[in-house]
Amino acid sequence: MAQSLQLHSFGPNEWSKMTFPESPREIYTQNPLVEVICQLKFAPILKIETEPPAAFQELLRKEYPLMQEAVVGQILFPPEVMKAFRDTVPALMQGRAYHFASSDEVWKIALTRDFIALSATHYTRWEEFRSRLEVILKALVDVYAPAFFVRVGLRYRDVIRKSMEGLQGLNWADLLQPHILGELGAPNIANAVQHTAREVVISLDNGLGQVRVLHGLIRQAGDTDFSYSIDSDFFSEGRTELNDVFRVLDLFNREAGRLFRWCTTPLLHRRLGASELP
């Protein structure tokens, strides 16, 4: 019998345990967000690898009509073993991943024997992403019935480009907070910095996980100037029950918005055309 996926929301006390400073939810006319990825890992389900996911595809094919199958890795054996068994047991040599995409390829699903992921390259509001994820997880539960999740992850990749309207000619010190700037805050050398990259892992105050933040200068294709990337990967490792997954993801989403504003300045928000969401 398929398991049901019930959705839980935060109570007022849980929202008060946020790590980053309180700030309003905002939407941007010039959205710096280039990709959002949610990955949910579970104990391996061999059926996903040994049988084509036909039933899973049928539940989602209307919204995600494009499908590809890919090899995700190899199990390495001694050469003599590889030679003897390469043709007879190919399933032992490689893993399988199934990719489903919307017609415009903005929305993509990845399914392997131990995780499912949803990504979007055009993102406006969490509510849209969440509603799509609800449908996908219901399909996963109905077809494969994972017992629980062993890792819950939600990743946001923001890129601030000097080529954006209103940002030309500004210094990084105008756009980024001092605790993020590092050497880019030094007036005498900021324009001479050719590379900077930092990684920091921060435990969340609510005890539900951590966030790994990778940030630094990058060079975007076609741009003559550097851009600044803020890559925030929120994750919780350990057992998460099916009924708790959206409780965790809702918190990660709210922390992600606060983290971006913690990294950036009010001037940047204004120049990006920020408006507060209800």
pLDDT tens digits, one per residue of 180-194: 999 999 988 988 999
Helix (H), strand (E) at residue 49: helix 46-50
Domain count within the chain? 2
> Of 146, 176, 201, which residue is a domain's last?
146
In sequence order, what E strands does the chain have?
26-28, 33-41, 66-74, 94-101, 107-111, 115-120, 149-161, 197-203, 210-218, 227-240, 274-276
What is the predicted pLDDT for the residue at 14? 52
Among 23-32, 103-112, 259-268, the minimum mean pLDDT is found in 23-32
> Of 146, 175, 193, which residue is a domain's last?
146
> Of 107, 126, 146, which residue is a domain's last?
146
10 Å Cβ neighbour count for 101? Answer: 18
Segment 19-39, tens digit of pLDDT:
898 888 888 889 999 999 999
165 and 276 within one domain:
yes
**Cα–Cα distance for residue pair 115/99, rounded to 1 Å:** 12
Q: Who's near 92: CB < 8 A, 6+ residues apart?
A: 75, 85
**Cα–Cα distance for residue pair 275/193, rounded to 1 Å:** 33
Strands 227-240, 210-218: pairing kind: antiparallel
The residue assigned the tokens 């997954």 is: 245
What is the predicted pLDDT for the residue at 274? 82
Segment 64-92, tens digit of pLDDT:
999 999 886 544 445 554 454 455 444 44
212 and 131 within one domain:
no
3 within a domain of the structure (yes/no): no
Segment 118-136, tens digit of pLDDT:
999 999 899 999 999 999 9
251 and 210 within one domain:
yes
Say what the pTM is: 0.85
What is the predicted pLDDT for the residue at 85? 47
50 and 186 within one domain:
no
**Residue 152 structure tokens:** 């819950």
218 and 114 within one domain:
no
Sorting pLDDT into bands at 50, 70 and 90, what band is 154? Answer: very high
> 3-state DSSP call for residue 262?
helix
**Cα–Cα distance for residue pair 90/106, rounded to 1 Å:** 32
**Cα–Cα distance for residue pair 175/158, rounded to 1 Å:** 13
77 within a domain of the structure (yes/no): yes
